[in-house]
Amino acid sequence: MQARTLYSILLFGGLGFLCGCDRLPGKPKEEDRWKPPSEIKDFALLFNTNCRGCHSNGQTLSASISMNNPPYLAVVPKEVMHKTIETGIPGTQMPTYSDKAGGSLTEEQVNILVEGIYNWAKGHEAPTDNLPPYSAALGDAERGKAVFAQACASCHGSGGEGTKGKGGAVDKAYLSLVSDQYLRTVVIVGRPELGMPGFREYVPGKPMTGEEISDVVSWLASRREGPAPGQSAKTAEIAPKTQPSTPNE
């Protein structure tokens, strides 16, 4: 009895080690090792801890646009992405990340993020013909209304109030929380993962032009009450809304 116990201890213990100490599950792994946040150089880790809550990495859905998104990456210039991450977008939930401005990421880490995000599009590049410019001044709201009726109303309702199953795109609280650039981005690349196509597909066979996009964004922006996020003093946003809202039709 005693001898057997002893043997089995030796046997199991010995076996455990023979299995190769490198593969034992209890052995601490290099990636579990704590590193100061500024030393994290791994793109996936950086993205998953800093961005994934709001921007999908392609594996989940997210409330804001996905970053693993070749059509988006085809249109957004690298410098803009870099700057957006560093400074954030004032007045919206997009935070400031540059450590020089009180954020948590170093310049190098922002570079790793930008490179990593663009790498997602490698080999899946979206077509670049007829590509509208990423950013542009607002267009003509009246014309934009017509564009909306043609391109967007089927899903968002003729006045943008929303249809069954699709949300209103001119909800005033919504518009006061998003920047004009974001509206433009969404019109260009859509939210394919949620069922909104991009600029090529609103009207079959006829990609939306840069001008039309400016116009429709301009119309959306004109439906906003008060300033766009980050545009002017916060008091204007918080002040009770007394003026009648802009007439609908």
Closest to 154 measured CA to CA, from 191, 209, 197, 205:
197
Contact between 38 and other proteins by CB under 8 A: the answer reads no
Three-class DSSP category at 168: coil
Q: Using CA atoms, how far apart are residues 188 and 2, in angstroms rounded to an integer?
A: 77
x/- map, 61-100, ligand HEC, by CB under 6 A: ---xx----------x----x--xx---x--xxxx-x---
Which of 38, 60, 119, 209 binds other proteins (CB under 8 A)? It is: 60
Q: Using CA atoms, how far apart are residues 134 and 65, in angstroms rounded to an integer?
A: 15
Asked whether 30 and 100 are in contact (CB, 8 A), the reply is: no
Which of 150, 174, 192, 231 binds other proteins (CB under 8 A)? It is: 174
Q: Using CA atoms, how far apart are residues 147 and 89, in angstroms rounded to an integer?
A: 27
Torsion of CA 228, 231, 235, 240, to 10 degrees: -20
Which of 18, 20, 31, 33 binds other proteins (CB under 8 A)? It is: 33
Kindly state the tokens that stand for 141: 């709201």
> What is the phi/psi pair of residue 224, to 5°?
-75, 145
**Binding partner at 2 among other proteins, ligand HEC, none, C-beta below 5 to 8 Å by kind:** other proteins
| Count of CB atoms situated within 10 Å of the CB of 105 | 21
Considering only 2-10, 19-27, 125-133, 182-190, which stretch makes contact with ligand HEC by CB under 6 A? 182-190
Considering only 23-31, 37-45, 120-128, 161-169, which stretch makes contact with ligand HEC by CB under 6 A? 161-169
**Binding partner at 15 among other proteins, ligand HEC, none, C-beta below 5 to 8 Å by kind:** none
Residues that bind other proteins (CB under 8 A): 1-2, 5-6, 8-9, 12-13, 16, 21, 24-28, 30, 33-34, 48-54, 56, 60-64, 93, 95, 161-162, 165-174, 176-178, 194, 225, 234, 237-238, 240-241
